């Protein structure tokens, strides 16, 4: 893959939600040129703890005007809206765009799987288990689908301009939390 400083990247994160009262959560996608310029914004809603995140994100990306220019999709973790697990392999296959999952701290798979089993989410566990183990790069962890580790490291150098996490994800987080709560909060 040919990567440039201004390669278009979509960063995806969810907004805050009340797991006891909200039926849906906001998903925001920022379209960035590298780690410097915000070119556009995408959004959709998914069910809290649902099974629709993969399909909704695929539809959001495949129908956007930037689709032909996007080189990578970056996800803030593998799940949104609680346990609405994104099938990163299917996302890559159905958009024909490589996917990088960015994780701030190494997941507690044992605890997460225990909770998911109690909720009867065995299919979601299998999706998570189908991915390679997260690899540490500097202070974050990544999983990469359809892109090499070397290219992933290059993209992180290009996009981590103002924080330890890539700017497309950081800004998606700020926008999503600001839209839902009226002001941005948390680890952006």
Asked whether the beta carbons of 103 and 141 are under 8 A apart, the reply is yes
Residue 1 lies in a domain: no
pLDDT tens, residue by residue, 41-78: 999 999 999 999 999 999 999 999 999 999 999 999 99
Domain assignment present for residue 153? The answer is yes
CB 179 within 8 A of CB 27: no
**Is 39 part of a structural domain of the chain?**
yes
User: Which pair of structure tokens corresponds to residue 90?
Assistant: 């299917």
Domain with residue 153: its CATH number is 3.30.2170.10
**Residue range(s) defining the domain that contains residue 18:** 8-179
The count of domains in the chain is 1
Question: Per the domain annotation, does 188 fall within a domain?
Answer: no
Cα 87 to Cα 46, 50, 51, 56, 79, distances in angstroms: 14, 13, 10, 11, 9
**Closest of 9, 15, 61 to residue 38, by C-alpha:** 9
| Per-residue pLDDT tens digits for 111-135 | 999 999 999 999 999 999 999 999 9
Under the banding of pLDDT at 50, 70 and 90, the label for residue 187 is: low
Closest to 168 in 3D by CA, of 89, 95, 100, 96:
100
């Amino acid at each position: 893959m040919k990567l440039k400083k201004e390669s278009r990247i979509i960063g995806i994160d969810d907004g805050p939600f009340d797991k006891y009262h909200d039926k849906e959560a906001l998903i925001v996608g920022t379209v960035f040129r590298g780690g410097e310029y915000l070119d556009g914004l995408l959004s959709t809603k998914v069910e809290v703890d649902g099974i629709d995140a993969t399909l909704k994100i695929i539809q959001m990306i495949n129908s956007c005007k930037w689709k032909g220019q996007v080189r990578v999709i970056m996800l803030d973790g593998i799940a949104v809206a609680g346990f609405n697990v994104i099938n990163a392999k299917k996302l890559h296959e159905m958009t024909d765009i490589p996917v990088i999952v960015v994780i701030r701290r190494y997941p507690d798979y044992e605890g997460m799987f225990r909770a998911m089993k109690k909720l009867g989410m065995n299919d979601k566990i299998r999706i998570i288990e189908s991915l390679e183990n997260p690899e540490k790069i500097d202070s974050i962890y990544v999983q990469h689908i359809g892109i090499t580790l070397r290219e992933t490291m290059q993209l992180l150098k290009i996009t981590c301009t103002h924080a330890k996490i890539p700017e497309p994800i950081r800004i998606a987080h700020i926008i999503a939390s600001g839209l839902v709560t009226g002001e941005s909060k948390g680890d952006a």
